[in-house]
Amino acid sequence: MAAAEPASGPAVSTDQRVALGRVGTLWRYPVKSMLGEAIGPVAVSDAGLDGDRRLGVVDSGTGMVASAKRPQRWRRLLLLRSETAGPDVIRIHFPDGLSALSTDDHIDKLLSEFLGEEVELRSGVPVAAALERSVPDAVLADGPAADVAVTILEIAAASPPGTFFDYAPLHLVTSASLERVGAGHPDGRVEAARYRPNVVIEAAAEADGFVENDWVGQRLHLGPQVIVEVVLPTPRCAVPTLAHGDLPRDPDAVRVPLRENFIPVPLEGFGSEPCVGVYATVVQGGRISPGDEVLLVT
């Protein structure tokens, strides 16, 4: 009599999951390079947090995407705050208390007058969209108003077509990294808002320093549904040093990571850069909420 075949069943996962901490605050930035909004539970897809970077300001003359990465021209974008006002509608707040909707007929005129450049607010990303990134060392040396050397970067290289992300659709920063930068900062602290994260992860108590560096190439579970893959450490440009709304200029927001976390960035055109946080792509969408557990899959 032939031996019985072993019973078949579901494959047993050999993955191990390491607790890294919990989701702290969630942020989205409806208009690229403007200030954003803190949010609660939110849907996540391969295009990032629902409503994030859905619009961008475009230079009418060149077709380039306006970005505070070139502060000499576009640093005033960081004095504007954008928030979701309804389906496919964004409200933009100006420093003088004025606000306008993205659907208003005069929005391009308002933005052009505020920025001192002819611009258009667009939902469609221009073909072969790119932006200008001022050399961070030059901005540190000469100040944000100086017309320093720039490099040209393709936008959204690791994001779905039609989005205004710098590179990937999610940016993660841990409390451990923020605490390390704060420890080296003359003020003893640094504001998370300067690094424009989507997810601030409240790291486990034993975490110390720039722990995200070790996550590159690995997958994280953000709550019970969302799975992301960490793809790159986030190279810091001049943006964290600039005034953000009521926050004043802070060159040490980049000087500290330049001194303490100057690491290779495996991206064409980059060598080693001061880094804080990591970029990630979305493997599985769902919803995430503040307080959700963050697990590393090994």
pLDDT band at residue 161 using 50, 70 and 90 as cut-offs:
confident
Task: Check: CB of residue 91 under 8 Å from CB of residue 166.
Answer: no
pLDDT given for residue 14 in this prediction = 61
Cβ contacts of 173 within 8 Å, gap of 6 or more:
192, 195, 197, 199, 200, 201, 212, 234, 276, 277, 278
Report d(CA 285, CA 283) in Å as an integer.
7
Pick the CATH number of 17-297 from 2.40.33.20, 3.40.50.720, 2.40.50.140, 2.60.40.10: 2.40.33.20
Global pTM? 0.92
pLDDT of 12 > 80? The answer is no
Least confident interval from 8-12, 92-96, 268-272: 8-12
pLDDT tens digits, residue range 65-92? 999 999 999 999 999 999 999 999 999 9
Q: Where are the domains of the chain?
A: 17-297
pLDDT tens digits, residue range 50-60? 999 999 999 99
The separation between the first and the last C-alpha atoms of the chain, rounded to the nearest angstrom, is: 43
Per-residue CA distances from 95 to 220, 244, 272 (Å): 38, 11, 36
pLDDT tens digits, residue range 20-65? 999 999 999 999 999 999 999 999 999 999 999 999 999 999 999 9
Task: Check: CB of residue 134 under 8 Å from CB of residue 115.
Answer: no
pLDDT of 162 > 90? The answer is no
Could you give the 3-state DSSP secondary structure of residue 12?
Answer: coil
Could you give the 3-state DSSP secondary structure of residue 232?
Answer: strand
